[in-house]
Structure 1
């Protein structure tokens, strides 16, 4: 071989090696929290305090990621799920978020619970450019890709669900006298705004009472007594599980018989309806996007069979009538899907890009017809619901699955 050919061959080899090296570098990109063997995911949950009924969500997610790890992890990496308790206290949420991001160095914070807690850390997430992903709250503010590009919701927004409730009332009981009972924060106020979106100028005539409560109150009985005295024949109940159970029970004790619409965050049979009394819960209305694990209509459903197998192995003592389990499972399954889509580019920016690129993803515990879709301008993954009624100890769905954004 001539010297010229040797030089040419060496140059080609060198260029090939450089291209290969660059390709390898392009294939694996990491931010804090990700390595060749591990992905650290942070979570903040109310394992104690007034919203502790939701603690099972974090436990379900922890168990789900254990299952993922047992199955080989995600693209060969094991999930290190770090979950802290904030007792549903925003100052504590700030403390735990800082610990997760600055000390534990997680890749992202996933499915942190509650509107006030997430409000407290939203700007911090934007400043740090750390994903605040699939937050466990339906406040409509999580769907604001322009102002908050590092925050994304998960479940249908409270405001959207409220619009569906309002349209149902207008159709089923157009001459209603409505009492609205709500939690005094963004969670409750979003519902109130959604109701008024639909009622418009008729709101003043239709709504005879608006009564709020604070999460620090030990009991809300006096509020329910006050609302009954207004003569309302429809009660829109926007309360978290502890207070929703109290409200259902008190309505029954007062022998008040309003059309009772309950926010979907408090429809768990195990956490709300049973504590309130199944007989007291009879006839309560709500809307849903999740399959109830205790509902026999899903006995032969493929997705629910997967959930049952998961519970048998990873959560054998769990209360299977708790709808929060189905929620936690769906959220964790969606998170795992996003991480798989992210491949070896486990940067925070790419994870957000993948979360904003979901196309008709179906989690095992979503009701038929509900699909998860996102885009660079749509940070609301689930926007469909179906009305349901509590009867004979279980929820019965009726009507069609409708788009929460349009009200169908």
Structure 2
């Protein structure tokens, strides 16, 4: 498949109506020259959360594809990735370096809630856009008026918790529910949304346990939740912690109904190592297609995805986190195309609130949509269940 064919397939409506834009001037915007737009991002390229680095690598690969096609309005995109080890203090340090030394135009696709929030005040004071943070922390929306230069990207974690709770109450009204969550803003927001809906339905949690991303094992938490008598488990954590929790629950003979984090729902990376027969029936709220899921084997978007990855990010085609990174990259490209001649930071931020687009690797019926009233890109998710071979979308 030729480059032009698969960029068109992957981009879809994202490219419509922008091909005739003249070259932007960008005068006075750091990181913008006649030939280049420099963008920065922080992510863990080392340490226990280094797996999340796949997001930045895929975003960079998407920019490589766009650059091969001529860039955006005649300018090539340069992504500067800075390793923060998933440490908030180091993330702030790296963001300062990207802005003050590297002179990036804006920050995009940072990994993590706590790390993104560590840099939020600095970036807002400097009036540097902080866009599409890979976080669904409620504060990105709730405090948008206070921090107008910042925007998350993932569906809100509180919304995810509410969606899971509504599904549990509808399908298991007599359930005893326990939650195992990552001890950060993300995990706590999912917990908050879950408890809010469960409390309204008169259904408190029977046990809640947390874990740190750096924990070597989560076995003790799983044993504790089994002892609570729970028959529904919401296991919201990193891919490593999710894999361990699924394996431990099976090994000790505990068979609750299990809901897991969408970022940890990869068939080849998480479910297969546990054993597909052992995770049949597991559920998740999702918004992206899993590239390792045979459900999508005949999907045109997935076929184009493999063509893109084979050329620009070989070896990572089945990684769910790579899909996340490429989708953020596509969103950034659309944003810059909408900026037209005006690449000022003010217009970059303004256009981030005017997005309305479908992405080929999002689940059918979902789309990116922002506005002044809701400055958060992804408003919905779908419940899906693993049938032992692939994920089947059920309902929202």
**Structure-1-length-normalised TM-score:** 0.88
Residue 159 of structure 2 corresponds to: 160
Equivalent residue runs for 1:332-343 within 5 Å: 332-343=329-340
Residue 18 of structure 2 corresponds to: none
**CA deviation after TM superposition for structure 1 residue 250, in Å:** 0.6
Equivalent residue runs for 1:360-399 within 5 Å: 361-399=357-395
Residue 237 of structure 1 corresponds to: 235
Distance 1:390 1:191 in 2: 21
Tell me the secondary structure at the aligned position of residue 252 of structure 1.
helix
Residue 249 of structure 1 corresponds to: 247
Residue 184 of structure 1 corresponds to: 183
Deviation per CA, 1:149-171, whole angstroms, max 9, x where unpaired? 01111121111011010000101
Residue 75 of structure 1 corresponds to: 73
Question: 2:262·2:285 contact (CA, 8 Å) conserved in 1?
Answer: yes
Deviation per CA, 1:155-203, whole angstroms, max 9, x where unpaired? 2111101101000010111111011111122111101110122123555
Question: 1:329·1:365 contact (CA, 8 Å) conserved in 2?
Answer: no
Runs (4+) off by over 4 Å: 24-28
Distance 2:24 2:288 in 1: 39
Between 25-34 and 113-122, report the one with greater CA deviation: 25-34
Deviation per CA, 1:83-139, whole angstroms, max 9, x where unpaired? 011111111111110110010010111110011111211111111111110001111
Task: Quickly say closer, same or farther: Cα 1:369–1:201, change in 2 above 3 A.
Answer: closer
Question: 1:163·1:197 contact (CA, 8 Å) conserved in 2?
Answer: yes
Tell me the secondary structure at the aligned position of residue 152 of structure 1.
strand
**CA deviation after TM superposition for structure 1 residue 376, in Å:** 1.7
Report the number of matched residues.
374
**CA deviation after TM superposition for structure 1 residue 28, in Å:** 4.7
Distance 1:48 1:284 in 2: 30
Residue 18 of structure 1 corresponds to: none
Question: 1:221·1:246 contact (CA, 8 Å) conserved in 2?
Answer: yes
Tell me the secondary structure at the aligned position of residue 378 of structure 1.
coil
Question: 2:42·2:110 contact (CA, 8 Å) conserved in 1?
Answer: yes
Question: 2:266·2:292 contact (CA, 8 Å) conserved in 1?
Answer: no
* CA RMSD of superposed structures (Å): 1.8
**CA deviation after TM superposition for structure 1 residue 214, in Å:** 2.0
**CA deviation after TM superposition for structure 1 residue 353, in Å:** 0.5
Task: Quickly say closer, same or farther: Cα 1:26–1:398, change in 2 above 3 A.
Answer: closer
Distance 2:328 2:380 in 1: 16
Question: 1:261·1:286 contact (CA, 8 Å) conserved in 2?
Answer: yes
Stretches of structure 2 lacking an aligned partner (at least 5 in a row): 1-21
Task: Quickly say closer, same or farther: Cα 1:295–1:26, change in 2 above 3 A.
Answer: closer
Residue 343 of structure 2 corresponds to: 346
- Give the number of the structure whose alpha-carbon radius of gyration is greater: 1
Higher relative contact order (CA 8 A, sep 6+): 2
**Structure-2-length-normalised TM-score:** 0.90
Residue 358 of structure 1 corresponds to: 355
Stretches of structure 1 lacking an aligned partner (at least 5 in a row): 1-23, 403-408
Question: 1:30·1:345 contact (CA, 8 Å) conserved in 2?
Answer: no
Task: Quickly say closer, same or farther: Cα 1:372–1:175, change in 2 above 3 A.
Answer: same
